[in-house]
């Protein structure tokens, strides 16, 4: 793909990512995406066959960004178990405290597509969430937590629940409650 076509495609994906994240998939129109990318709708459709194809590209890009974010979190995270859990959930509380916090973009999009189980966005989101869960299982295993994969799945429930409740209530202290629950969970597994 020529450089200018690649740049245009990346620009479209970035514009769509911003609108999908802020407005949701259903409310973000193709016209608005094209306007934000400063292109015509026809140009957008020359790069993507449909809004669904564009969403798949956005979520694939989001997954790449999430992997970068996980690596950054991992580098900052303490190695000891309790401190690791505190760090993980305090970073969540920090994100929730930012203006315009709107929760996990992947989770919100998949909720919008709940009636479309075969939609490609759901497979991308599943893969991304599984990557996070596997990373967490590795961190727990390094701390000799028995059945680290099971505990990671349970902690993922706390992460997703805290993210949803922080969004609903606008109260970042749900992250603190989730951290306390996660510490009890891994402590009782010993």
Return the CATH superfamily for domain 61-188.
Tetracycline Repressor, domain 2 (1.10.357.10)
End-to-end CA distance of the chain: 54
DSSP 116-178: -TT-HHHHHHHHHHHHHHHHHHHHHHHTT-TTHHHHHHHHHHHHHHHHHHHHHH--THHHHHH
CATH of the domain spanning 1-48: 1.10.10.60
Domains in the chain: boundaries: 1-48, 61-188
pTM higher than 0.85, yes or no? no
- Tens of each residue's pLDDT in the chain, 190 residues: 576 889 999 999 999 988 887 788 888 999 999 999 999 999 999 999 999 899 889 888 877 877 887 888 888 889 899 999 999 999 888 877 777 666 666 677 777 777 877 877 778 878 888 988 999 999 999 999 999 999 999 999 999 999 889 888 988 899 999 999 999 999 866 5
DSSP three-state, residue 106: helix
């Amino acid at each position: 793909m020529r450089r200018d076509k690649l740049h245009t495609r990346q620009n479209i994906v970035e514009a769509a990512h911003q609108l999908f994240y802020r407005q949701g998939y259903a409310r973000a129109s193709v016209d608005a995406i094209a306007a934000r990318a400063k292109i015509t709708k026809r140009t957008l459709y020359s790069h993507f066959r449909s809004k669904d194809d564009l969403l798949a590209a956005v979520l694939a890009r989001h997954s790449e960004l999430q992997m970068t974010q996980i690596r950054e979190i991992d580098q900052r995270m303490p190695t000891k178990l309790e401190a690791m859990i505190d760090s993980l959930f305090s970073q969540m509380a920090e994100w929730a405290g930012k203006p315009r916090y709107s929760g996990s973009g992947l989770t919100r999009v998949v909720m919008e597509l709940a009636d479309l189980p075969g939609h490609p966005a759901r497979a991308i989101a599943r893969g991304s969430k599984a990557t996070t869960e596997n990373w967490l299982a590795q961190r727990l295993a390094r701390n000799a937590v028995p059945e680290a994969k099971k505990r990671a799945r349970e902690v993922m429930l706390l992460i997703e629940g805290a993210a949803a409740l922080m969004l609903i209530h606008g109260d970042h202290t749900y992250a603190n409650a989730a951290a306390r629950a996660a510490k009890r969970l891994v402590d009782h597994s010993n």
